[in-house]
């Protein structure tokens, strides 16, 4: 499989000045799959005026762009704390007037965490420390979204323990990092959990 070497090369290139030559074609070539997750990101939620969708852990904007294209009348908030990835996220979403980049993570409690300038978001954080928004703070600031894509490298277990009442009624696609945290996917009271793609569950409000 060439996917692993391609991603490793991508991480190397993102640390090099050549990153300024990257185009959206490159990102599409490396990171675009035609699967159920991608199809969900292309869904039009037909949300009303003032509504929003959150991409928590937007990384390079692979899904942010799809969400923005499919929901042109909806505000898209892209949360990303990686100091290298933010540049590429901005590069890919600059043409979308409905995208707002929030350069911090969403956590259970709003604590300060160690950030990273390393483009390999799977590697240990390098620092410096960065602020975060708690789920409650994010809802208070941006309003309750209609849909959330959540990929937060293990923080999801804390966010759902206990289940966040402030997100009651919100549809979500959550990536569970069970290997990283060494926990099993929890049973939830406020959402019906459906297996989606590997390691992902679709949370439908009860």
For domain 3-205, which CATH number applies: 3.40.50.150, 3.30.200.20, 3.30.450.40, 3.30.70.890? 3.40.50.150
Residue 65 is inside which H or E element, if any? Answer: helix 62-70
DSSP, collapsed to helix, strand or coil, labels residue 205 as strand
Residue 111 has pLDDT above 80, yes or no: yes
pLDDT number for residue 145 = 98
Mean pLDDT, rounded, for 58-73: 94
By C-alpha distance, which of 140, 132, 131, 202 is closest to 172?
202
Q: Band the pLDDT of 22: cuts 50, 70, 90.
A: low
For residues 120 and 127, the answer to whether their CB atoms sit within 8 Å is no
The arithmetic mean of pLDDT across residues 115-122, rounded, is 82
Return the percentage of the chain with pLDDT > 90, whole number: 68
Q: Are 60 and 88 in contact (CB under 8 A)?
A: yes
The CA-based angle 181-183-186, given to 5 degrees, is 125
For the cut 60, the answer to whether the pLDDT of residue 31 exceeds it is: no
Q: What is the pLDDT of residue 28?
A: 62
* 88 neighbors 14 (Cβ within 8 angstroms): yes
Give residue limits of the domains in the chain: 3-205
Tell me the pLDDT of the chain averaged across its residues: 89
Q: What is the dihedral of CA 35, 36, 37, 43, to 10 degrees?
A: 120
């Amino acid at each position: 499989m060439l996917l692993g070497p391609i991603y490793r090369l991508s991480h190397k290139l993102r640390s090099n000045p050549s990153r300024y030559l990257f185009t959206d074609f490159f990102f599409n070539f490396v990171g675009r799959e035609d699967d159920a997750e991608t199809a969900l990101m292309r869904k039009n939620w037909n949300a009303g005026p003032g509504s929003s969708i959150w991409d928590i852990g937007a990384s390079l904007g692979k899904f942010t762009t799809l969400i923005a294209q499919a929901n042109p009348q909806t505000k898209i908030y892209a949360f990303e704390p990686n100091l290298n990835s933010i540049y590429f996220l901005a590069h890919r979403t600059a043409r979308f007037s409905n995208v707002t980049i929030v350069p911090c993570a969403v956590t259970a409690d709003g604590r300060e965490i160690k950030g990273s300038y390393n483009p390999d978001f799977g590697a240990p954080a390098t620092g410096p420390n960065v602020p975060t928004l708690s789920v409650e703070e994010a809802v208070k600031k941006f309003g309750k979204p209609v849909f959330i894509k959540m990929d937060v490298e293990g923080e999801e277990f804390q966010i759902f323990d206990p289940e966040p009442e402030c997100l009651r009624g919100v549809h979500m696609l959550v990536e569970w990092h069970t290997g990283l945290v060494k926990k099993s996917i929890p049973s939830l009271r406020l959402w019906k959990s459906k297996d989606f793609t590997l390691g992902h569950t679709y949370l439908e409000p009860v």
